[in-house]
Structure formats: structure tokens, C-alpha cells
């Protein structure tokens, strides 16, 4: 009985050794997308009242875990049933990310501050209260996370397959792949949102340092630095997050559309992906804007 128990422990230890090797490779392969994920989610988790930052972040993190609980089994099922479907889903998701990025750029370039009679005219419009606005932003963040999580899972799966080939494993490759992808998904979610939590609470940490040091010495200066740096960090995250959306979308188009993958062979890879992301975003923006106008005309006539 005892020998059987220890044999199970040996098997688990051997499996974890294999998973450690494949997970290390998968984490390295997903490092770039994790950086983009961090920038995008940090930008989306800001802009709330201080008391709501962590609760909102926890909602987004919960949504991210649910996303991965859905994505992991679906990706393995599609891999078994019809693997090209994964690329199709990724490309559709790429258009969504590109649309989000380009929409922010268009809003920044062409949105002007309203004044005078325009403000008076809009005073009668219904303004979303804090709770509705919060739900809207959380929903947007979770939707974006779904696309990013999908790419993380797919990259991790590909890395797990490559890593398994270099092992002399006694275990079925599917088992190693499932455990590897699950481990990477958990690390990605906890790691990304843990760092985001640290970023959005920079000012609170600064205030505590100022209070503890009585606003004196090196600790007090560092506290002021954290407080003063947060607005600049948030602005930077807005820019980096938008660029990340476009780059991730462009990367999806580049790696999953054969024609684009072989286009512009002498161009810098990042520049290519930015161009593909911007083009995809403009196409999506045109389609969605046209669809909204048609829907508005139809509903008015009805």
C-alpha cells in the first residue's frame, strides 16, 4: 500500500519535472504577449476612484480566470477536431484588438473638447452613473483579456509541443500539454494582475511612506516621487497599451495570414506588424461605423 503511494508521488514528481521544462519554454515564448497584456490591462484598470481600484481589478482578474477556464478546453478540443479553426478565431480576435487600438487613436486625433452651446445641448443627455461606467469598463477589459488570453494559450500550447519533443517523457504528450498550458495560464493571470495592482496603488504606497517618515528624509522624497509619478505612469500606460493592442493584432495577422507573413520581407518585423494592425483596425472601424449608421437609420424609420 505504502509502496503504491510512493510510486504515485514519484510519477507526480516526474510529471512536474517534465512540466517545468515545457513551462519554462512556454513562459519564454509568451513573455512578449504578457508584456502587452500587462500594458493593456494596467491602462484599463486605471481611471477609477481610489476605493474602487482594487475591487475593479479583482473583477477583471476573475473575468480573466473565467476566460482561461473557457479557452483552455476549447483550444484543445478545436486542436483535436479542426485545428485551422484556432487561426480563424485568432484573426477575428485580432480585428477586435486592432479596432480598439485604432479607435483610441482616432478619438485622440479628432475628438475636440466641446464648449459653449454644445455643452448646453448635451446637458440634457443621460450620463452614465459610476456603477454603469464601471461595469462597461470591466466588460471591455475582460473582452480584451479574452483575445490576449487566447493567444497566450495557443503560444503556450505550441511551446509545450516543442518542449515535449526534446524530452524523453514517459507520459502522454496530451497530459504534459494540458498541465503546461494550465500552469502558464495561472502564472500569466496572477503575475500580470499582481503587477497591475502594484501600479495602480503607487500613490497610496507613496502617501504611506510620506506619513511614516513625517515627510522627511529619503523615504519621504521617495513617497513624493511615487505620488507624482503615477499620473505620468498612467499616461504612458495609455500610449503603451494602445500600441500593444495594434502590435498584438498585427502580430496575429502576420503569423496567421500566409500572404501577409511573406509580404514585405525586407521590412522590420515590428514596423510590419504596426502597419498590419493599423490597416486591420481601420477596416474594422469602417465596418463597425457603417453598421452603426445603418442600424441607426433602420431604427429611426421603424
CA distances from 15 to 20, 75, 154, 155, 188 (A): 9, 22, 21, 21, 21
Per-residue pLDDT tens digits for 144-159: 888 888 888 888 888 8
Helix, strand, coil % over all residues of the chain, rounded to 5: 85, 0, 15
CA dist., res. 158 & res. 143, Å (int): 23
The predicted model gives 128-147 an average pLDDT of 80
The reported pTM is 0.77
Per-domain residue ranges for the chain?
Answer: 2-301
> 287 falls in which pLDDT band (50, 70, 90)?
very high
Calculate mean pLDDT across residues 79-94.
88
Once rounded to an integer, what is the mean pLDDT over residues 136-145?
Answer: 86
Whether residue 44 contacts residue 199, with contact meaning beta carbons closer than 8 Å, is answered with no
Give residue-wise pLDDT tens across range 232-247.
887 887 788 888 889 8
Could you give the dihedral angle defined by the CA atoms of residues 248, 97, 162 and 72, in that order, rounded to the nearest 10 degrees? 150
* pLDDT band of 72, cuts 50, 70, 90: very high
Give the whole-angstrom CA distance, residue 272 versus residue 260: 9
Q: Tell me which of 120 and 244 has the higher pLDDT.
A: 244
Cα separation, 266 vs 155, whole angstroms = 25
SS3 of residue 67 by DSSP: helix
Neighbouring C-beta atoms of residue 275, cutoff 10 Å: 18
Residue 219, burial from CB neighbour count under 10 angstroms (0-12, 13-18, 19+): middle
Share above pLDDT 70 across residues of the chain, in percent, rounded to a whole number: 87
* Residue 3 pLDDT class (50, 70, 90 cuts): low
Q: What is the mean pLDDT of the chain?
A: 82
Amino acid at each position: 500500500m505504502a509502496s503504491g503511494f510512493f510510486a504515485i508521488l514519484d510519477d507526480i514528481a516526474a510529471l512536474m519535472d517534465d512540466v517545468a521544462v515545457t513551462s519554462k519554454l512556454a513562459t519564454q515564448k509568451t513573455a512578449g504577449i504578457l508584456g502587452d497584456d500587462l500594458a493593456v490591462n494596467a491602462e484599463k484598470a486605471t481611471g477609477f476612484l481610489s476605493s474602487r481600484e482594487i475591487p475593479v481589478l479583482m473583477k477583471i482578474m476573475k473575468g480573466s480566470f473565467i476566460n482561461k477556464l473557457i479557452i483552455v478546453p476549447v483550444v484543445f478540443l478545436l486542436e483535436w477536431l479542426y485545428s485551422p479553426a484556432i487561426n480563424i478565431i485568432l484573426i477575428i480576435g485580432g480585428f477586435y484588438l486592432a479596432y480598439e487600438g485604432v479607435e483610441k487613436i482616432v478619438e485622440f486625433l479628432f475628438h475636440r473638447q466641446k464648449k459653449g452651446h454644445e455643452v448646453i445641448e448635451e446637458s440634457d443627455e443621460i450620463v452614465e452613473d459610476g456603477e454603469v461606467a464601471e461595469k462597461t469598463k470591466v466588460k471591455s477589459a475582460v473582452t480584451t483579456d479574452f483575445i490576449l488570453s487566447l493567444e497566450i494559450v495557443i503560444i503556450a500550447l505550441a511551446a509545450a509541443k516543442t518542449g515535449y519533443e526534446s524530452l524523453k517523457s514517459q507520459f502522454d504528450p496530451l497530459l504534459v500539454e494540458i498541465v503546461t498550458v494550465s500552469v502558464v495560464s495561472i502564472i500569466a493571470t496572477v503575475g500580470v494582475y499582481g503587477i497591475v495592482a502594484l501600479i495602480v496603488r503607487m500613490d497610496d504606497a507613496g502617501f504611506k511612506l510620506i506619513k511614516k517618515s513625517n515627510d522627511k528624509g529619503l523615504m519621504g522624497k521617495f513617497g513624493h516621487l511615487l505620488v507624482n509619478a503615477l499620473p505620468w505612469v498612467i499616461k504612458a500606460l495609455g500610449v503603451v497599451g494602445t500600441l500593444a493592442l495594434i502590435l498584438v493584432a498585427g502580430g496575429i495577422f502576420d503569423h496567421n495570414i500566409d500572404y501577409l507573413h511573406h509580404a514585405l520581407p525586407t521590412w522590420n518585423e515590428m514596423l510590419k506588424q504596426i502597419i498590419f494592425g493599423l490597416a486591420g483596425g481601420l477596416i474594422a472601424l469602417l465596418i463597425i461605423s457603417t453598421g452603426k449608421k445603418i442600424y441607426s437609420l433602420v431604427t429611426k424609420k421603424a
